[in-house]
Structure 1
């Protein structure tokens, strides 16, 4: 499974916001700098995350971005589904009717189990967990 850059950058930006949750908006330039995300790309990404309800954005000198939800209420599965859409390892799991082997495929149940395991892991990791981990690693100098 390959994680798209859009998801990686989205998670990094949201973790940065989770680390500042409750402390007001964080400027795009600060998020970009701290997370190594090109600012022009981040602007587009934050617009998407705002539109999807994860982020609140405010323009102006005191502007920036903040989480629209509590970090414990946002998990990686939600983010991946929002930013990537289909996270299935094979298209035939999503579009079963398009597969001529669907009724007799020995692999299908294995890949479905893999997909369910991945979704379960992602659903159990919240932004709150990641923000705490990031703060711990930063304090350790890692």
Structure 2
């Protein structure tokens, strides 16, 4: 499974907001500069995150974007699934109706196992965990 740029940049965006969670809203331009991602791309990525209730925007001179939930309450499976449109490595691993051969396919068991392992691992990591890992590296 190869994660899209959308997920990789989206998780970096979320981590940046988690690192600065107690500081209030942060401008996308600042995140873009720190993460070396274009502002235009971040503007596209933040839309589904706002719609799903993970990010909120604050208007005004001290405005910007911030997490709508504390970092310990946001699991990585939620973010990756939202930005990827699911976590399954194949269509049939999440939806047996996605393939007419799913009832006959001997490989579906393996694809489901891998998908479940990815989901479980991502679910066991929160943004707070990543903030802590980040501060240990610094």
TM-score, length of structure 2 as denominator length: 0.92
| Residues 116 and 98 of structure 1, relative CA distance in 2, 3 Å threshold | closer
The two structures, once aligned, show a CA RMSD in angstroms of 1.4
| Secondary structure in 1 matching 2:22 | coil
Gaps of 5+ in 2: none
Q: Deviations over 1:16-62 (max 9, x none)?
A: 11111121111111111111111111122223211211111112321
- Residue 98 of structure 1: CA displacement? 4.3
Which residue of 2 is the match for residue 91 of structure 1? 91
Instruction: Give the distance between the partners of 2:103 and 2:47, measured in 1 at CA.
Output: 42
Which residue of 1 is the match for residue 74 of structure 2? 74
User: Do the aligned residues in 1 keep the contact of 2:94 with 2:112 (CA within 8 Å)?
Assistant: no
1:1-142 mapped onto 2 (5 Å cutoff): 1-137=1-137, 139=138
| Secondary structure in 1 matching 2:24 | coil
| Residues 72 and 101 of structure 1, relative CA distance in 2, 3 Å threshold | same
Instruction: Give the distance between the partners of 2:77 and 2:124, measured in 1 at CA.
Output: 8
Gaps of 5+ in 1: none
Moved more, 84-93 or 110-119: 84-93
Instruction: Give the distance between the partners of 1:100 and 1:66, measured in 2 at CA.
Output: 43
- Residue 65 of structure 1: CA displacement? 1.0
Aligned length in residues: 138
Instruction: Give the distance between the partners of 1:97 and 1:26, measured in 2 at CA.
Output: 42
